[in-house]
Amino acid sequence: MPVMNGYEATKEIRKINPHIPIIAQTAHAYKEELDKILRYERNEEIKVVDDVFMSPTYTKDAAIMIKKVLDKNLIFGIYHMNNEGYCSWHEFAREIFNLTNMEPKLKAINSEDTYTKAKRPKFSGLENGNLEKNGFRMQSWRIALKEYLTEKRYI
């Protein structure tokens, strides 16, 4: 199944079974954020919050898991579909640079020192409990990140 947004995925699912209830939830699918981090200027200091935690999710992994859940015809419910584990945005950025052998000036900052239009929770990590109850497990965010960076030829 190709990587697609939620609306496109829902249209494809409805082609397979127009009556199936669909609830899939993920958090922090990272293509845009990751690409932004990787475009840093060599001598530029990069400020990244270290007090906001999330579950980074490779959209390809989420799409694959959605297909598996549909193929197994699981009962109606809420299924979180994110890579296992959680980290701060700063830890995520640090891991990106470690894997790509880049050495930017990475500075941890407090989320209160940044401006965002919407107030964000300090912790938005998700657990995949319903997936695990049905015999599914998503790979860790670190392994998924390495796969993404390899696939996109950053490493």
Residue 40: CATH number of its domain: 3.40.50.720
Total of domains in the chain:
1
Instruction: Please state, in angstroms and as integers, the Cα–Cα distance from residue 68 to each residue in 2, 3, 19, 71, 131, following that order.
Output: 13, 14, 18, 5, 10
pLDDT computed for residue 134 by the predictor: 92
Tell me if 12 is assigned to some domain: yes
The pTM (predicted TM-score) of the whole model is: 0.77
pLDDT tens digits for range 121-143 = 888 888 888 899 999 999 999 99
Tell me if 146 is assigned to some domain: yes
Instruction: Please state, in angstroms and as integers, the Cα–Cα distance from residue 5 to each residue in 29, 32, 102, 142, following that order.
Output: 10, 13, 30, 22
pLDDT computed for residue 2 by the predictor: 44
**Mean per-residue pLDDT, 11-36:** 69
pLDDT computed for residue 154 by the predictor: 86
What domain range is 136 assigned to? Answer: 6-151
Tell me if 84 is assigned to some domain: yes
pLDDT at 55 over 50: yes
